[in-house]
Amino acid sequence: MCGMAILKIARMGHPVLLGRAAPVSDPTAPEMRRLVADMAETLADAGGIGLAAPQVFQPRRLFLWRDGPELRVLFNPTLQSVGDAFEEGWEGCLSIPGLRGRVPRAQRVAWRGWNERGQPCSGEAEGLAARVLQHENDHLDGIFYLMRMNDLAQLGFNEELDRAGMPRR
Ligand code: NI
């Protein structure tokens, strides 16, 4: 494909990451198609598993996430936890490079939204997929994983945590 671009990623401290993103009225609009293609390129380049539009300076309600081998897009998402089981797991963020921390998340979520063809879609996710969805959805409301942590002693630089034998996930 031609015309795709690797976008600059906003880092924590930039105001675009702290606001509430605006809904997308037409996911099939050419500028949205372009944005999704560029975000896919950016995510592949950065090696992450999810990317929300505010992270590339676009305060709109959409994110991409890797669901196994598939890269999926969700516009105007809503998430709801299913059951009351929470679990802790390690998270990092492309907007907070070099760090990871242990974050409690709902173990299972129901999600709904619109795909890139403007069709409604929904599903359930658990474990890592549920965690990624919650992390990316939070970016649409100006929330970082750090704000969800119970214990900031469980935050560290990847190099140090790796050296200490802490798991990546
Ligand atoms: Ni993030």
Of the candidates 87, 124, 136, 160, the residue annotated as catalytic is 136
Question: Which two three-digit tokens encode residue 131?
Answer: 């965690």
* Gap from CA of 107 to ligand 1 centroid (Å): 18
* Gap from CA of 144 to ligand 1 centroid (Å): 7
**Catalytic site includes residue 31:** no
Backbone angle region of 19, left / alpha / beta, with phi > 0 → left and psi within -120 to 50 → alpha: beta
pTM of the model: 0.95
Q: DSSP code of 9?
A: P
* Gap from CA of 147 to ligand 1 centroid (Å): 12
pLDDT greater than 70 at residue 1? no
CB atoms within 10 A of CB 100: 23
pLDDT for 131-153, tens place per residue?
Answer: 999 999 999 999 999 999 999 99
Q: What secondary structure, in 3-state letters, does 81-142 show?
A: ECCCCEEEEEECCCCCCCEEEEEEEECEEEEEEECCCCCEEEEEEECHHHHHHHHHHHHCCC
pLDDT for 78-136, tens place per residue?
Answer: 999 999 999 999 999 999 999 999 999 999 999 999 999 999 999 999 999 999 999 99
pLDDT greater than 80 at residue 3? no
CB within 5 A of ion ligand 1: which residues?
93
